[in-house]
Amino acid sequence: MKRILILLFFFLPISAQAEVPSFSTWINTRGSALSVFFVDPATGAFSGTYVNRAAGFECQDVPYAAVGASKGTSVTFRVDWKGVLIPDCHSTTVWTGLLVGSTLKTKWRLDYTGSDGKPHTMYGRDVFTKQ
Ligand code: BTN
Protein backbone atom coordinates (compact mmCIF):
# COMPACT_ATOMS: atom_id res chain seq x y z
CA MET A 1 0.00 0.00 0.00
CA LYS A 2 2.81 2.38 0.98
CA ARG A 3 4.61 1.65 -2.31
CA ILE A 4 1.45 2.41 -4.30
CA LEU A 5 1.04 5.75 -2.52
CA ILE A 6 4.68 6.65 -3.20
CA LEU A 7 4.25 5.76 -6.90
CA LEU A 8 1.07 7.85 -7.11
CA PHE A 9 2.86 10.78 -5.48
CA PHE A 10 5.59 10.75 -8.13
CA PHE A 11 3.58 9.96 -11.25
CA LEU A 12 0.29 11.87 -10.83
CA PRO A 13 1.80 15.38 -11.14
CA ILE A 14 3.75 14.31 -14.25
CA SER A 15 0.68 12.98 -16.07
CA ALA A 16 -1.31 16.09 -15.10
CA GLN A 17 1.36 18.36 -16.57
CA ALA A 18 1.35 16.40 -19.85
CA GLU A 19 -2.06 17.76 -20.86
CA VAL A 20 -2.72 21.07 -22.55
CA PRO A 21 -3.27 23.55 -19.71
CA SER A 22 -6.23 25.89 -19.44
CA PHE A 23 -5.60 29.45 -20.61
CA SER A 24 -2.51 28.66 -22.66
CA THR A 25 -1.33 30.07 -25.99
CA TRP A 26 0.41 28.07 -28.69
CA ILE A 27 2.21 29.60 -31.68
CA ASN A 28 3.15 27.54 -34.72
CA THR A 29 6.09 27.97 -37.08
CA ARG A 30 3.81 29.76 -39.59
CA GLY A 31 3.00 32.43 -36.97
CA SER A 32 -0.56 31.25 -36.27
CA ALA A 33 -1.86 31.23 -32.68
CA LEU A 34 -4.08 28.75 -30.84
CA SER A 35 -5.45 30.16 -27.58
CA VAL A 36 -6.88 27.49 -25.30
CA PHE A 37 -9.45 28.65 -22.76
CA PHE A 38 -10.87 26.33 -20.10
CA VAL A 39 -9.95 22.63 -20.40
CA ASP A 40 -12.59 20.39 -18.75
CA PRO A 41 -10.53 18.10 -16.48
CA ALA A 42 -13.20 15.37 -16.66
CA THR A 43 -13.26 15.04 -20.45
CA GLY A 44 -10.26 17.00 -21.72
CA ALA A 45 -12.61 19.01 -23.94
CA PHE A 46 -11.59 22.60 -24.57
CA SER A 47 -12.63 25.65 -26.51
CA GLY A 48 -10.58 28.60 -27.64
CA THR A 49 -9.64 30.68 -30.65
CA TYR A 50 -7.32 30.29 -33.61
CA VAL A 51 -5.72 33.18 -35.48
CA ASN A 52 -4.35 32.12 -38.84
CA ARG A 53 -1.21 33.93 -39.98
CA ALA A 54 0.10 31.29 -42.39
CA ALA A 55 1.29 32.64 -45.74
CA GLY A 56 -0.66 31.36 -48.72
CA PHE A 57 -3.95 30.89 -46.86
CA GLU A 58 -7.07 33.02 -46.49
CA CYS A 59 -9.03 34.00 -43.35
CA GLN A 60 -5.99 35.72 -41.84
CA ASP A 61 -5.54 37.78 -38.65
CA VAL A 62 -9.04 37.16 -37.24
CA PRO A 63 -9.88 34.96 -34.22
CA TYR A 64 -11.98 31.93 -35.24
CA ALA A 65 -13.56 29.56 -32.74
CA ALA A 66 -11.50 26.43 -32.01
CA VAL A 67 -12.84 23.32 -30.26
CA GLY A 68 -10.79 20.32 -29.23
CA ALA A 69 -9.84 17.69 -26.71
CA SER A 70 -6.67 16.97 -24.80
CA LYS A 71 -6.19 13.54 -23.22
CA GLY A 72 -2.77 12.71 -21.87
CA THR A 73 -0.32 13.67 -24.58
CA SER A 74 -2.79 13.43 -27.47
CA VAL A 75 -4.47 16.59 -28.69
CA THR A 76 -7.01 17.19 -31.41
CA PHE A 77 -8.77 20.40 -32.38
CA ARG A 78 -10.86 21.82 -35.18
CA VAL A 79 -11.52 25.22 -36.73
CA ASP A 80 -14.48 25.96 -39.02
CA TRP A 81 -13.30 28.98 -41.00
CA LYS A 82 -16.52 30.93 -40.64
CA GLY A 83 -18.26 32.98 -37.97
CA VAL A 84 -20.39 36.02 -37.28
CA LEU A 85 -19.17 39.17 -39.07
CA ILE A 86 -15.89 37.53 -40.10
CA PRO A 87 -14.85 36.09 -43.48
CA ASP A 88 -16.20 32.67 -44.49
CA CYS A 89 -13.50 30.61 -46.20
CA HIS A 90 -15.85 27.66 -46.77
CA SER A 91 -13.28 25.40 -45.16
CA THR A 92 -12.49 23.39 -42.04
CA THR A 93 -9.16 22.28 -40.55
CA VAL A 94 -8.65 19.42 -38.10
CA TRP A 95 -5.30 19.08 -36.31
CA THR A 96 -4.26 15.90 -34.49
CA GLY A 97 -1.03 15.68 -32.58
CA LEU A 98 1.14 14.83 -29.65
CA LEU A 99 2.32 16.99 -26.82
CA VAL A 100 5.98 16.66 -25.86
CA GLY A 101 6.85 19.12 -23.11
CA SER A 102 5.96 22.56 -24.42
CA THR A 103 5.90 21.42 -28.06
CA LEU A 104 2.76 20.25 -29.84
CA LYS A 105 3.53 18.37 -33.05
CA THR A 106 0.51 18.00 -35.31
CA LYS A 107 -0.72 16.79 -38.65
CA TRP A 108 -3.65 18.63 -40.22
CA ARG A 109 -6.30 18.13 -42.82
CA LEU A 110 -7.93 21.14 -44.51
CA ASP A 111 -11.19 20.55 -46.37
CA TYR A 112 -12.25 23.45 -48.57
CA THR A 113 -14.41 24.37 -51.52
CA GLY A 114 -12.19 25.40 -54.41
CA SER A 115 -12.78 28.18 -56.96
CA ASP A 116 -14.16 25.39 -59.17
CA GLY A 117 -16.95 24.95 -56.60
CA LYS A 118 -15.74 21.43 -55.84
CA PRO A 119 -14.53 19.95 -52.54
CA HIS A 120 -10.76 19.65 -52.07
CA THR A 121 -8.48 18.43 -49.28
CA MET A 122 -4.98 19.54 -48.27
CA TYR A 123 -2.71 17.86 -45.74
CA GLY A 124 0.22 19.26 -43.78
CA ARG A 125 2.02 19.51 -40.46
CA ASP A 126 2.23 22.24 -37.84
CA VAL A 127 4.52 22.46 -34.83
CA PHE A 128 3.25 24.66 -32.00
CA THR A 129 5.26 25.98 -29.06
CA LYS A 130 3.66 26.99 -25.77
CA GLN A 131 4.23 30.68 -24.98
C1 BTN B 1 -8.44 28.70 -45.70
O2 BTN B 1 -7.49 29.22 -46.32
O3 BTN B 1 -9.33 28.03 -46.29
C4 BTN B 1 -8.62 28.91 -44.23
C5 BTN B 1 -7.33 29.08 -43.47
C6 BTN B 1 -6.53 27.81 -43.39
C7 BTN B 1 -5.22 28.01 -42.65
C8 BTN B 1 -4.36 26.76 -42.64
S9 BTN B 1 -4.95 25.57 -41.47
C10 BTN B 1 -3.46 24.65 -41.59
C11 BTN B 1 -2.33 25.64 -41.73
N12 BTN B 1 -1.80 26.03 -40.43
C13 BTN B 1 -2.08 27.29 -40.14
O14 BTN B 1 -1.77 27.84 -39.08
N15 BTN B 1 -2.75 27.86 -41.12
C16 BTN B 1 -2.92 26.96 -42.25
Looking at residue 62, what is its pLDDT? 98
Give pairs for 96-101: CB < 8 Å, separation 24+. 97/126, 97/128, 98/73, 98/74, 99/18, 99/19, 99/20, 99/70, 99/73, 99/74, 99/75, 100/73
Indicate the Cα dihedral angle 128, 81, 54, 123, nearest 10°. Answer: 70
List ligand 1's pocket residues with C-beta within 6 A: 28, 30, 32, 52, 54, 57-59, 81, 89, 91, 93, 108, 110, 112, 124, 126
Residue with CA at minimum distance from ligand 1 atom 9: 93
| Residue 57 Cα: closest atom of ligand 1 | 2
Average pLDDT over residues 22-34: 98
Q: For all residues of the chain together, what is the average pLDDT? A: 90
Average pLDDT over residues 98-117: 96
The pTM of the full predicted model, rounded to 2 decimals, is 0.88
CA pair distance 81, 66, nearest whole angstrom: 10
CA of 80 to the centre of ligand 1 (A): 10
User: In a mutational test of the pocket of ligand 1, which residue from 32, 86, 93, 95 has the highest number of ligand atoms less than 8 Å from its CB?
Assistant: 93
> Binning pLDDT at 50, 70 and 90, where does residue 17 land?
low
Encode pLDDT of 29-70 as tens digits.
Answer: 999 999 999 999 999 999 999 999 999 999 999 999 999 999
